Amino acid sequence: MTRIDGHELRTDLTLDCDAVVVGSGPAGSAFAAEAVRHGMSVIVVEAGRWFEPAEFAETAFAAMAAAYRGMGGSLVVGRAPMPFLQGKMVGGSSPINGAICWRLPEDVHAAWLQADPGLAGGLPWQALEDTSDALEARLSIAPTEPAIAGQKNLLMAAGAAALGLEHRPIRRNVRGCRGLGRCMQGCPEGNKLSVDRTLLADAMAAGTTVVSSAEVGSITLERGRARGVVARAEGGGQVRIRASRAVILAASAVQTPSLLLANGIGGGPVGHNFQGHPGVSMSGRFPEPVRMWEGATQGHEVIGLRREGLKFEALGFGLDVLAARLDGVGRKLARQIDDLAHHVDWGVAVKAEARGRVRRVRGRTVVTYTPTPRDVAQFRRGLRVLGEMMLAAGAEHVDPGIRGLRQPVRDSAELQRIERDGPTNPARYTAAITHMFGTARIGSDPSESVVRPDFRHHVIDSLYVADSSVFPTATGVNPQVSIMAMAQLCARSVAGVAVGAATPTRTT
């Protein structure tokens, strides 16, 4: 049996394996796929349910209610409360993200090793590159085709070219994409090669069992060693999983530290160093219809300012989300809805310097985070560049989404003034956090990190962390491929093989 549905599990169940993995997203699925190649028996436990492509909701709000943690309403708290989105389903956030694929940038890896040379043995660059090669082949990662890009992506290319900024079609893990614009809801045709349809499917074909709709609450410890986990199934039954070799946490940079804290597992800065890519967006009105809900959800990016900590992406929203962003009532609202086809939204993700924290407060997970003054200055610079690209691409006017600012903006002089003199209060900006890191960071110093360079917990033996919690810093780019690559190095560590061992390429 490779699938156990927690919705149907009303009695207690005990299972045995070599390694139990908490979380089925990019990290958990990649770990499982690699571990079974090295002869390990694996059980993956996932709090969310299975979704088949035909079950994905058509509207964004319905998708959030069904497949997102907290119904898409999770917030970081601080001076500027911001939403962060996480999938709660088999595959984690992979089935409902924008399918954007980046390798770990070499300059980011070099900075990690410069700060902590002890990481070199656990994260060798060539091993990460070779593993990424195999992942790209398995996930059919390739640039977005112009035929399915849609106008919102082609206009970004035109605007970036006019400003002389380096840009490119986004590399995505899709096959047969028809540009339906529904990546954030889940592809109804199954054309996104998310991990549930690839790496986890590979692991299951080799014998891995997936227990879905079961939330892990306890980590079983014996004499300083992790021996398994206990989960509560949606059907009411308790699932006890005994692991003879390792417990692997792959539940995200929010849920992993929360689980450690809930079980009283300290050692190092658990929950500290929460980092991410807070992003702001800008809308613009074009004289001709753009219909931004059509075409590849996110198909183009501007990378010329990446080393400054700014990465620009075309965005794609469903009609319900677009309409919810409008103000006014009655005829004013009706006129805006009638005009939606002419509007486009683009965003900029900031490699922020702010550090937050994940805590447990009265049994609940709380994330605190506030952008620094430099981060807010990056918001302003990013909005200026977004606006200049839109105007250069032919927009009549743009809306920077800054609360209390006179709108619309029609010229670059006003955009420059926003960058120079715009609000310093982060709460004035319409922002959201994507890509979270650092809350169980990897490192050689037990006082500064939670896991060792081989991904093993500094204090608890046989306990490993394989997700973006271990990243020493934010990467400045979309991390799903680097998460998978590092998780596979973690699997080799658990299996006792060299981290540089070759990963077979599978393209079926």
Give me the residue label for tokens 């694929």.
Answer: 101
CA 468 to chain centre: 9
Residue 181 CA, distance from chain mean position: 18
Cα end-to-end span (Å), the chain: 22
Beta-bridge partners for 68: 87
Residue corresponding to tokens 């219909």 = 291
DSSP string, 169-211: EPEEEBSS----S-TTT--TTS-B--GGGTHHHHHHHTT-EEE
- The three-state secondary structure class of 472 is coil
- Whether the Cβ atoms of residue 275 and residue 84 lie closer than 8 Å to each other: no
- Which of the 8 DSSP states describes residue 297? S
| Residue in 58, 86, 59, 82 with CA at minimum distance from that of residue 72 | 86
CA proximity to 242, closest of 225, 259, 230, 232: 230
Q: Which phi and psi (to 5°) does residue 200 adopt?
A: -70, -35
Q: How far apart are CA 315 and CA 301, in angstroms?
A: 10
50 CB burial (10 A radius; 0-12, 13-18, 19+): middle
Among candidate residues 277, 435, 457, 458, the one labeled active-site is 435
Angle between helical axes of 125-138 and 106-115 (0-180°, round to 10): 150
Cβ atoms within 10 A of the Cβ of 199, count? Answer: 29
Q: How far is CA 181 from CA 29, 88, 345, 449, in A?
A: 25, 21, 13, 40
- Look at the chain and count its residues: 508
E-strand ranges in 254-380 read: 275-285, 300-302, 310-314, 343-350, 357-361, 364-368
Q: Report the distance separating Cα 104 and Cα 125, nearest Å.
A: 10
CB 214 within 8 A of CB 88: no
Distance CA 371, CA 217 (A): 31
Burial of 285 (0-12, 13-18, 19+ CB in 10 A): middle
Contact between 504 and 497 (Cβ < 8 Å): no
CA dist., res. 133 & res. 507, Å (int): 12
Write the CA distances from 311 to 109, 123, 229, 294, 476, integer angstroms: 18, 25, 39, 22, 7
484 exposure class (CB count in 10 Å sphere: 0-12, 13-18, 19+): buried
- 167 is a catalytic site residue: no
Residues marked as catalytic: 435
